[in-house]
Amino acid sequence: MQQAATTKNLILASKLSAWLAMGSLSPRKVYWEIKKMEGVPNTKAMFNHILLGLLWRDYFRFMFKKYGNTFFNPDGFGSQGLVDVSNEQENFNKWRSGQTGFAVVDAVMTELNQTGFISNIARQTAALYLINNLEVSWIFGAAYFEEKLIDYNPASNWGNWANVAGVGNDQKSKSVFDLDKNIKNLDPKGNYATIWAS
């Protein structure tokens, strides 16, 4: 049940991320193999996105090395406190079990729970919905992804979650994330939500 990947998802859709996360595959090996294949027609966009994924992976690793436990701080690199929401645990439980009533998000969480894997755009979509729509602390989501993802990488996971929440080391990054745009990229025709309907 694998959806057709858009070029934006190829570093994850290539299924290399689990091998990279476990140390079974060298990012240098991936890089040089891509460089060998650059002349193949109609592959430039795909290869560029894989290389971009490798760059982001390295970026978060270096940031994690530099800032350490700041990545696990609920306030992240920001100074604003998190809002205390009375039904936070209930909303989180609905989200993690794919029972929010929002079809695309529920499909993402169903795929994650069944396979241990979701694309980058799916991760962002689930994170945006949890943080902005359900008003649940990003820490809950980051910890749940840590538990479920077969390609879990501490730096990438916590760094990406903090950025989506607007408390990462680039606090302007929150304005880059748009739930509606993500949904259009992830599931433009509604096929993804149909495939993973729980």
Tokens representing 55? 């760059």
Overall CATH class of domain 70-195: mainly alpha
d(Cα 71, Cα 159) in Å, to the nearest integer? 6
How many CB atoms are located within 10 Å of the residue 9 CB? Answer: 21
Give the torsion through C-alpha atoms of 137, 141, 146, 150, to 10 deg. Answer: -170
Mutual angle of helices 103-115 and 138-148, in 10-degree steps: 40
Distances (CA, A) of 115 to 2, 165, 191: 11, 25, 18
d(Cα 109, Cα 151) in Å, to the nearest integer? 16
Phi, psi (5° rounding) for residue 189? -110, 5
d(Cα 157, Cα 180) in Å, to the nearest integer? 22
Q: Identify the pLDDT of residue 104.
A: 94
d(Cα 191, Cα 89) in Å, to the nearest integer? 30
**How many residues in total does the chain contain?**
198
Please say whether the beta carbons of 145 and 157 come within 8 A. yes
With the C-alpha atoms ordered 7, 181, 138, 1, is the resulting torsion angle positive or negative?
negative
**Please, how many CA atoms are within 13 Å of residue 133, restricted to the half-sphere of its CB?**
15
pLDDT < 50 positions in the chain = 1-13
d(Cα 51, Cα 47) in Å, to the nearest integer? 6
For the chain, the structural domain boundaries read 7-68, 70-195
DSSP H/E element including 162? helix 154-165
